[in-house]
Every structure is written in C-alpha cells, then in structure tokens.
A = this chain, B = another copy of it.
Amino acid sequence: MNPIAIEETLKSLVQTLDAIGTFVFALSGAATGVRARLDLFGVLVLSFAAATSGGILRDLLIGAVPPQAIRDWSYLAISIVAGLTTFLFHPKVDRLRTPILVFDAAGLSLFAVSGSQKSLALGMEPVPAMLLGMLTGIGGGIVRDVLANEIPLVLRAEFYAVAALAGAGVVVAGDVYGLPPLGPAIGGALLCFALRLLAIRRGWRLPVATQEEDRARTD
C-alpha cells in the first residue's frame, strides 16, 4: 500500500472502531441505567456518558478540543439509538449482568485500540500513547460506574485495565516496528477482548495483598 492508502485505511479504521465502541459502551451504560431503574432520560444520559467519556478525556489530555464526541453529533445519535434499544427491548433485568460485561469488554477493546491509534497519530510517544489508549478504554466505564454510585469495574474486575493496556500495547508495538496499522489494530482488539472474556469465564484474578490473618499462617 502507498502511504496515502495506509493513512486512509487508518483513518476509516479508527472511525469504524470508534463508532462500534461507542455503540457497545452506550449499551453498557443503558443496561446499567435500566438495572438501577433510572427513567428514560437518565438511561440516555448514562448511555452517552459511558460511550463518550473515555474519548473526551483522551481528547482533553492531548489538547484536541472541542472533543470529537461533542463536535460530531453522530456520537450523540449512536448513544441515543443504543439507549432506546436497550430501554425498549432489554431482556429480563436479572439477565443483564452478563450482557453488560460482554458489551463492556467489547467497548474496552475497541476504545483501547482506537485511543492509542489516535494518540500516535497526534504525535504522542509510545508510553503516553499506551496510557491514553488504556484511559480511552477504561474512562467511559469509570464515569458510568461513578455516576451510578458504584466502585468502578476497572478496580474490582479481573484483568480489566491489564487487558486494555495489552491491547493498546499491541497497537503501539506495531507502530514502533513500522507495521501497517490494520493487523495490530485487529490483534490488539482481539487480545484485549479475549483476555477480558477469559478472565470473566475462568474467574482469573490478580493477587490481592495478603492480610494479617494470611501472614500469621506462614510465620
């Protein structure tokens, strides 16, 4: 591919990932809102907040203001469609826990990848680009959970931020080694999604600090 074709591919790739990520995170926000029995507009606000906060934080941090998600009304439209869909057709509320987790994992993967790509495109160094990719991934879920008055999933969940960091890392590594962007983007998103799903299915956990009673036994 010539450089212009690569750039075009990269641009439309970031946009597509961003749109899908927006939709799935908006679903996770709406599902959280329905579970908390918020009214229609509360559900829509939570959809929009979950879908756009990660990208808005990233754009604020790299100085790309006004952020894409405010300037471009398609983010609002996507969030409203996702919110209304969830509101009208959501299944039994008790069954929403698993779809929320799966939507959340998909949004995490797509945003970690698109966030690190956008940061690289705006000239960030590798380590900041990884951090910003991770933040783009985890920011929406953090704001969603803080608004719903819960400890954010990212702090409680198995391999959450680690998965986002791994996905962003694949993208950044691909860039450092000069690979065409499509492969690392797909690889990074799949790695992040797989890590998160496996962590949920298998109950993988990172270690928790030993407490006094645990120590007493080894002494």
Contact = CB atoms under 8 A, between A and B. Distances in A.
Interface stretch (A20-28, A64-72, A108-116, A177-185): A64-72
A72 to B, nearest CB: 8
A147 interface: yes
A128 B71 contact: yes
A45 B90 CA distance: 33
Which of A87, A132, A158, A206 gathers most chain B CB within 10 Å? A206
Contacts of A90: 209
Contacts of A67: 61
Contacts of A173: none
A8 interface: no
A60 B65 contact: yes
A155 B42 contact: yes
A195 B205 CA distance: 41
A212 interface: yes
A38 B155 contact: yes
Given A206-B41, A209-B34, A212-B94, A155 B46 contact: yes
A97 interface: no
A39 B152 contact: no
A52 to B, nearest CB: 10
15 contacts: A36-B151, A37-B209, A38-B155, A39-B207, A41-B159, A41-B161, A42-B161, A56-B61, A61-B70, A70-B128, A70-B132, A73-B127, A93-B209, A148-B151, A149-B150
